[in-house]
Structures are given as C-alpha cells and as structure tokens.
Structure 1
Amino acid sequence: MGARIALLTRDLRIHDNPLLSGDGEIVPLFVLDPRLAGLSANRQRFLHQCLADLRNTLRERGGDLVIREGDPVAETVRLAREVDATEVWVAGDVTDYAQRRERRLREARLDLTVTPGVTVLPAGAVRPGGGGDSYRVFTPYWKAWEKTRWRVPAATPRKIAMPDSIAAGTLPELPAGDSPDAIPGGETEARRRLRSWMREISRYDDEHDDLAADNTSRLSAYLRFGCLSPLELALAAKADDSPGAQAYLRQLAWRDFYYQVTAAFPKISTEAMRPKADTGWRYDEDAFQHWQDGLTGVPVVDAGMRQLRAEGWMHNRARLITAAFLTKHLGIDWRLGLQWFFRWLIDGDVPNNSGNWQWTAGTGNDTRPYRKFNPIRQAQRFDPQGDYVRRYVPELKGVDGVAVHQPWRLPGLDYPGPLESHRDEAVWLRA
C-alpha cells in the first residue's frame, strides 16, 4: 500500500482531523499559493504561525509538515509522483477557489478522497424540503441542523508515519502583520483559549452583545484556519446545557449556514443574492475614507473601525453597527466594505464575511432587508457607559458616561463632527 498525501488547507490541526486518520504512511502537505499571499498581511502572519506550530506538533509524533510553494494542484501532483502516493485526501470546502481546486485534482486523475472537517456539518448534509439546494432562512436551517446526526470525531494520531527521504521544505520567514495587537496563530494557542472559553461560556447568552465586556470566545480566527475543529467545539457546547452554551451553539450553526449558502451561491463576495436590492449605491471617496480610518464622528462606529486595525478583529456587534452605517446610512456599496474587512480580519473568510455583509446591506439572507440600525441607540444599548468607545477612541477618554456617544454636544473636543457628506442625517444622529 502506497503513501497517502493529506493536502491541508483549512484544517491546520491534529485533533479531529480526518485527513490524518487511518493506517499507513501519510504525507501532510501545505502549499503556499502566491496568488493568496497579498490579500491580508494579518492573515498571512497568522497562517505562518499556524504552520510552524503544526510542523512542531507533527515532528513530535515522528512526522513532518511538507511545505511547497506554487499552484496547489500542480505541487500536489508533483509530490504524489515523488513519493509514489496512491491517494490524495483533502477537506471539502465551498468557495469558488476550493471548488476549482477540487475539480482540478479530479481532472489530474488522482485517487481523491474529500473528507469533512471545515464545518460541523458538510454543506450538503442539511437540505430543505421540496428539492432546494440550500436553506435561504436561518431558523428552519437551525432546527434541521440541530436534529441531524453528527459524525464521530477523528482520533488524534499518536504517531505519523511518513516515507523516507522527503524534502520537508522551508517555511518562509514570518511576515509582518499590520495589526500590532493581533492574536497569535496555531493549534497550541487555540486549545489553550478553548479551555479558557469553556469556563466562561455560560455567560455568553447574557453578555455576547456587551461591547465593553468583550465576553465572546474570540475563537473565530482559529476556526477559520482549522486550528480548532468546529465539530469538537459544537460538541463541547452541546454537552453544556447552560443558556450561554446553547446560544453559542446557535452561532456555530450560523457559521455552517453561510457555508451551505456559499456552496449554492459561490459568487457571494461579488454578486448580490437579491439583485433588486443591489441598486442606488453612491461612491463617496471622502466618506469611505473617513469610515476606514474611524473618523466618521460617530463614536461607536469609529471605535469598531479602530479595533479592526489594531487587532485584526472586531466585536460582532460592532461589525453589524459599522457595516450598517456604511451601507444603510452612508449608502456606500457593501462590496467596498467587504473588501476592507477582508484586508484586516484574521478570521476573514468568504462565507461568513460575505454572508454577513450581504445580510446587513439587505442584499442577502435577511428576512427584513430594509431594516436600519441607529448607531447611537445601538451604542447606548450595548455600550451604555461608553467603556468600549473610550477603549479605542482616545480623544474621548475624558468624556464620562453616556455623553461619549454624542460628543458633538460637547464643545472643545479634538474629535470630528458627523461627516460633511452625511450632514443630511445630522438631526437623526442627534436623536
């Protein structure tokens, strides 16, 4: 029996990794695709940390992580010939890029096995009645998702057997990220944070929207790169009957929901799911730049945008507020905001980033596409004492309490008023 190549993509872990299960020799391979290298310095740095950590873990088990650079399919085919591999395994994924990769691997006449592991349930595991290819509304999907039988997690390998004389390749020097307060990558760090989160998860239902409390798992980047198994995380939440754990389980179902949406609609990053709503956008470079820089004059929006730059991450409630402000109040095309988030977010992936932007813009899966969020009222509700705003907007550190959400009422502050291009809503902002 020949060796098997495990083509790692979004599954940079050894726990519950079906690619590394089974008997025989396994060649764990990761291919650095130069076409993806310039998309986000934050994600590039996080990826390299993940790869370095996984390589150390595999070496502790007698194996190694083979690193190649170039086209993933061409490099996989080349390595299969070098080691006389009879099989290639890869985790199923839903993006345009992943689906093209899978088609090309099949066209290369490799004995290809597609395994689960990127989501709790594979995209096609839950289908609506009547023959539809995907659910368009979350609640019925959630009910079906919750009742569907999940797979048994793959065993963690104690030893990795590899063919002799494989050149493991060199991991390039760790690139510099753009966010100074970004979290570190890797399964080791992910599992440390997972253990800590499971001690706090019971509070999630009450506090997950509290901007200042910041009581969310912050595991999204580790899920995005597969440093954690989404199934393992879902099973841990399901075993905890607290309201917080059940609310968190629902968020993992939202993640799966957007993956099955993307599998059916792979152009989700560029084309509206509701084309009739994808009209009337204006292109105001000055307003967009102020939004990017966190200088809109609306404190909760500016705090979110500055957190994004500082950490490569943003609180989920702040993501909703900032995206709604750009699309529903500035009237700027959701695709521009989506690309800016992709530029900075460590957890930025196609299904969730794009799905959430379309939901907020009213072009996607929202059953109330014309809803409009008042950022001031959102701030007063979810940051009532202004602690989140003061954390990220130092110009307002001396402003006490709720006054921080309407600084234009206070004279002498070195802080911008509402955007000139947005003056038509000045009265609304002061409401």
Structure 2
Amino acid sequence: MAGKVIICLLRNDLRIHDNEALLWAFKHGSQVLPIYCFDPRHFKGTYHFGFAKTGPHRLKFLIESVQDLRCRLKSKGSGLIVRTGKPEEVIPELIKSVGPEFVSSLVYTQEVTQEEIDVEAALNKSCGVKIQTFWNSTLFHKDDLSFSIKQLPDVFSQFRKRAETECSVRSVIPTPETFKPLPQGIEEGNIPTCEDLGVENVPQDSRTAFPYSGGETSGLDRIKYYFWETDKVAKYKETRNGMIGADYSTKFAPWLAHGCLSPRFIYSEIKRYEKERISNQSTYWVIFELLWRDYFRFVAMKYGNEIFFLNGIRRMHLPWKKDTNAFIAWKEGRTGVPYVDANMRELAATGFMSNRGRQNVASFLTKDLKLDWRLGAEWFESMLIDHDVCSNYGNWQYSAGIGNDPRQDRKFNMVKQGLDYDPNGDYIRLWIPELNQVKGGDVHTVWALNSTVLSRANVVLAQTYPKPLVIAPEWGRHMGKVGGATRGGGRGCGGQQQPTKRGMDFYFKNTQPRQ
C-alpha cells in the first residue's frame, strides 16, 4: 500500500458537498477511507424513559442517507466503508487491518453534546494516529463569532442581531470532480436494514407531509424544486405555518439534521435566488430559521449537559407532574383535544410534524398537563425524522419556560391555535378519521357539541373519541367563534361542566444528562 491513508469518520455529515472534513481528507491523503458506523448505542432506550432512541422513521431516513452517500462517493471514484459497532472500537480495528504504518490521520466533524464528545475522546485515546477535526454543522462557523461561547446571549434576538451585523458566512467549499480511491483489500461492508438493527421497518403513510427519501441527492433535489422550479421560497413566510402537504415549508430539516445538506449551501442558494429572482421577507425567513438552528447548537456548547437537566439552563425548580396515563394519551393522540391529537398521530405515523404543531403539543404537555418536559423531548428524539439533539432539547426547554424564552409564562391556546391554522378542521379530519363527519371548525371543540350534533356525526365521547384530559379556561373565549348553533350542553372531562381545571401533583427529581 503506497502513500498515506486518511480515515474520515462520517457521523452527522452525510454529504460530499461543503463537507470540510471529507474534502480535507481527499486533498491531503494519497488514499481515503470514508467510513460510517451504525453505533449500537443509538438503538437502545432513551436515558430517562427508555423510548427507542432511534425510531423507525428516522432510521429509515438514515439508512437511505448512507446508501445515497455510498452511491455518490462511488460515482466519484471512491466508496464508503460501513460497519456496525462503536466507532472507538471499529476504527482501531480498521487501522490495524490497513496497517498502522500506512494510516496518517483520522478526520471527523466535531459535535457538541456529551455522548458524541465521549466518542471523540475515546477515539483520540484508542486510535494512535493524528486526529484532525473540523467544524461543519452551522451556518456561522463558531470561530467567526464576534463573541466567545461563554458570552453567547441568552435571548435569540440578541444573538441574531449580533451575528447578522458582526459576523459573515464562509463560502461553500468546491467539490472536486473525482475523488481518490479506497485502499485495496478493504471490504466495504453491507448497509444494515432496519430489521438488522432491531427496529421495525414501517411503510410510508400516504398522508405524510414529508414524502421524501433520505440522502444528499434528494436534499439537493428539494432545494432545486423549492427554489428554482416552483419559486415557493418566495412565499415561505406566508405559508410556513401550514399543516397539510409537502410544500407549505421548506422541509429541509431532516436533511440538515443528518448533514445531507450544508446550511452554508442553502444560504448560498438563497443569496443566488435573491440576486437572480427576488429578495423579500420570505427568502430572509429561511435564513432566520437557519440562525435558530445555529443558536441552539451554540447554547448546547455554552451550557453543556444542562440542556438535558430537569431544571433547565435557568435552573428553575418547577412542580412537574407524573401521570403515566396522561403521557400515553398525549403520545398516542388520545387526549380528547383534537388539535393536539391530530399532530401527535401525524408524528407517530410519519415521523414528521409541522413547526406550528410542535409548538402546540409541547405547550400542551408542559403548560396544560404540566408533565415533565423531558418526556416530550425524549419522545421527539425517538420519533422525529429530523431529530437534532441541540434543537430538540433547546426547543423543549424553551417551551417549558426553563430555557431561552424570555417569556417564562408563554402558553399556547389550543382552541385558538387550531382555529387560526386549521379553521375548517381539514387537518383534524385527515388524522382523526373518527371525527370526519364533524363539520367545519366545530371539530376543534368536539367535547362542547350537543348530543344531537354528535349523534349525527357518529361520535360518542369517551367511546369513539376521548373526552379531553383537561379543558383550559382560556379556551372558552374562542368557543363562540365555531358554529355557535351547534353548541350547548357539552360536558368536560370526567363529566364536569366545562371549563374546568384539573391538577395532578407529582414530580420527577432526576436531573441527570441524556445518555
């Protein structure tokens, strides 16, 4: 084996465009070994509550992304080594099989949360070769910030203003036409199936708002479609709170979460679009969302494991409740509050949910049910195709009032939100077929409909559809806006006249980080 071999460990950077770690390896190595490891720790239970850490929807997307990356590398003359095992055990064995005298270095993209940092520390200890790392995940490079991570503002708007006025986005790294080949004699390995990893393979639900496969190819196709073929990006700000269909938002998040798309490439395409077609609030708003993603990654760097603690980065002691039945009803979409239930059923069936839906179901869990926010965060970690550890836990702390939200008491009104964003109830009926005969916006407050209306719609509360777990008093302010002729005589949860407040006072004390 001639020359020096560089091993490039790929994790959440499953692309060849604008991948500094991978492109550095091909520039400096005589031969390059790109490798992806299916780490068995990713398929165990979540730390506190034991949900499947990588659920079927995300795993399917991940496998497709690895398959696509292998194809793209092969098309440029290289390939992708795939192994199942812990990287800190797989890589030393790979170095041994290549010959330690031939391997000059190991290169990878840095991560920021504890599990990933632990893997990096173990690699540095076990490999016995030079380690080269790169920062590859954010729009703004951490070294280009005009302030230290310790000085990161605790309010997003302050971060955004400083980043936009004091920092610049680096250019996209050009991708060579051809790559250097794999060393001879190294078996590439099979890409496992979901079943190989102990996870059930699920078919795609025809109702999904994310009908796309994983991988860089489909991500680049989505940019081309959303920007250049349809100009939908020019109306993103107006449509982003939609609930049904693929085109109300960019849908870039799953590809970003797996590193199939570079945020800098998206930014460069926006800037090109603004120059060649139109620049407006919608094109800016895509950048705005990329800034939120950056922000939560930097928050994770600043606070470390506190983003996983029960009391949050604010270290607030709140009386979180413990009610297993209430949580199960929430995650299965059986709370009796249709707007919440429809969103949770979409998540379970597809691994995706709109941003509007996420804000509402998180508020309902933490502010209406007052359950431990980590239940929601770990369930999302299991279910979401686009799970990003920093964004997920940062957003959940934000929703729970213990994170970066300057308004600790922010609470979403489920009825108002449903009427604002699904006024005719089409989204509800799409995901809750047992309510499909309830007409119009009345479906948002089905518990308040009189017996005649319910009978005509073939709905029997507590039998065909649950009574609500809670009825918040503020919901009543918006009940009259929904087909008033059909109201009257409705009973709340447990047979109580609505509106009423119910309480369940329990508390989780564990404040350990995610593992």
Per the normalisation by structure 1, the TM-score is 0.93
- 1:157 corresponds, among 146, 156, 176, to 176
Distance 1:78 1:252 in 2: 38
Q: 1:330 to 1:271 in 2, by over 3 A?
A: closer
Aligned match of 2:333: 294
Mean alpha-carbon deviation: is it higher for 38-47 or for 12-21?
Answer: 38-47
Aligned match of 1:186: 215
Say if 2:423 is the partner of 1:403. no
Distance 2:78 2:244 in 1: 44
Distance 1:165 1:247 in 2: 49
Runs of 4+, deviation exceeding 4 Å: none
SS at match of 2:108: strand
- 1:222 corresponds, among 241, 255, 260, to 255
Aligned match of 1:204: 236
Aligned match of 1:20: 22
Kept in 1, the 8 Å contact 2:303–2:313? The answer is no
Say if 2:62 is the partner of 1:47. yes
Kept in 1, the 8 Å contact 2:7–2:34? The answer is yes
Distance 1:201 1:305 in 2: 27
How many residue pairs match? The answer is: 426
Distance 1:123 1:36 in 2: 27
Q: 1:398 to 1:195 in 2, by over 3 A?
A: same
Q: 1:278 to 1:428 in 2, by over 3 A?
A: same
Aligned match of 2:43: 37
Say if 2:10 is the partner of 1:8. yes
| Counterpart code for 1:219 | F
- 1:320 corresponds, among 346, 359, 368, to 359
Distance 1:329 1:101 in 2: 38
Distance 2:311 2:295 in 1: 17
Kept in 2, the 8 Å contact 1:123–1:263? The answer is no
Q: 1:271 to 1:89 in 2, by over 3 A?
A: farther
Kept in 1, the 8 Å contact 2:172–2:268? The answer is no
| Counterpart code for 1:69 | T
Distance 1:426 1:118 in 2: 40
The Cα offsets for residues 168-196 of structure 1, whole Å up to 9 and x where unpaired, read as 11212344444633642111111111211
Kept in 2, the 8 Å contact 1:290–1:296? The answer is yes
| Counterpart code for 1:194 | I
Kept in 2, the 8 Å contact 1:25–1:160? The answer is no
Distance 2:103 2:114 in 1: 27
Mean alpha-carbon deviation: is it higher for 318-327 or for 195-204?
Answer: 195-204
Mean alpha-carbon deviation: is it higher for 11-20 or for 314-323?
Answer: 11-20
Mean alpha-carbon deviation: is it higher for 172-181 or for 46-55?
Answer: 172-181
Say if 2:159 is the partner of 1:138. no
Q: CA deviation at 1:212?
A: 4.1
Q: 1:228 to 1:274 in 2, by over 3 A?
A: closer
Aligned match of 1:261: 299
Distance 1:19 1:270 in 2: 32
Aligned match of 2:503: none
Kept in 2, the 8 Å contact 1:178–1:309? The answer is no
Q: 1:254 to 1:135 in 2, by over 3 A?
A: same
Distance 1:4 1:271 in 2: 41
Distance 1:190 1:271 in 2: 35
| Counterpart code for 1:217 | T
Distance 1:27 1:135 in 2: 40
SS at match of 1:169: coil
Q: CA deviation at 1:158?
A: 2.1
Aligned match of 1:98: 116
SS at match of 1:90: strand
Q: CA deviation at 1:283?
A: 0.7
Q: 1:127 to 1:367 in 2, by over 3 A?
A: farther
Distance 1:286 1:2 in 2: 59
Aligned match of 1:171: 191
Say if 2:270 is the partner of 1:237. yes
Kept in 1, the 8 Å contact 2:144–2:168? The answer is no
Q: 1:238 to 1:134 in 2, by over 3 A?
A: same
Mean alpha-carbon deviation: is it higher for 334-343 or for 39-48?
Answer: 39-48
SS at match of 1:89: strand
Kept in 2, the 8 Å contact 1:389–1:404? The answer is yes
Q: CA deviation at 1:416?
A: 2.0
Kept in 2, the 8 Å contact 1:120–1:231? The answer is yes
Q: Which runs of 5+ in 1 are unaligned?
A: none
Q: 1:426 to 1:104 in 2, by over 3 A?
A: closer
Mean alpha-carbon deviation: is it higher for 49-58 or for 405-414?
Answer: 405-414
| Counterpart code for 1:98 | E
Mean alpha-carbon deviation: is it higher for 340-349 or for 96-105?
Answer: 96-105
Q: CA deviation at 1:206?
A: 1.1
SS at match of 1:114: strand
Distance 1:236 1:223 in 2: 15
Say if 2:289 is the partner of 1:251. yes
Kept in 1, the 8 Å contact 2:77–2:179? The answer is yes
Distance 1:155 1:116 in 2: 17
Distance 2:318 2:325 in 1: 20
Q: Which runs of 5+ in 2 are unaligned?
A: 45-52, 206-210, 478-515
The Cα offsets for residues 1-55 of structure 1, whole Å up to 9 and x where unpaired, read as 4111111011111111112322432110111111112412222222111111111
| Counterpart code for 1:357 | W
| Counterpart code for 1:166 | I
Distance 1:180 1:270 in 2: 34
Aligned match of 1:121: 140
SS at match of 1:406: helix
Mean alpha-carbon deviation: is it higher for 357-366 or for 29-38?
Answer: 29-38
Q: CA RMSD in A?
A: 2.0
Kept in 2, the 8 Å contact 1:80–1:86? The answer is no
Distance 1:141 1:110 in 2: 38
Q: CA deviation at 1:123?
A: 4.0
Q: 1:120 to 1:274 in 2, by over 3 A?
A: closer
- Structure showing greater radius of gyration is 2
Q: CA deviation at 1:119?
A: 1.6
| Counterpart code for 1:237 | I
The Cα offsets for residues 189-233 of structure 1, whole Å up to 9 and x where unpaired, read as 111112112231111111212334661111211111111111111
1:357-376 pair list within 5 angstroms: 357-376=396-415
Mean alpha-carbon deviation: is it higher for 328-337 or for 66-75?
Answer: 66-75
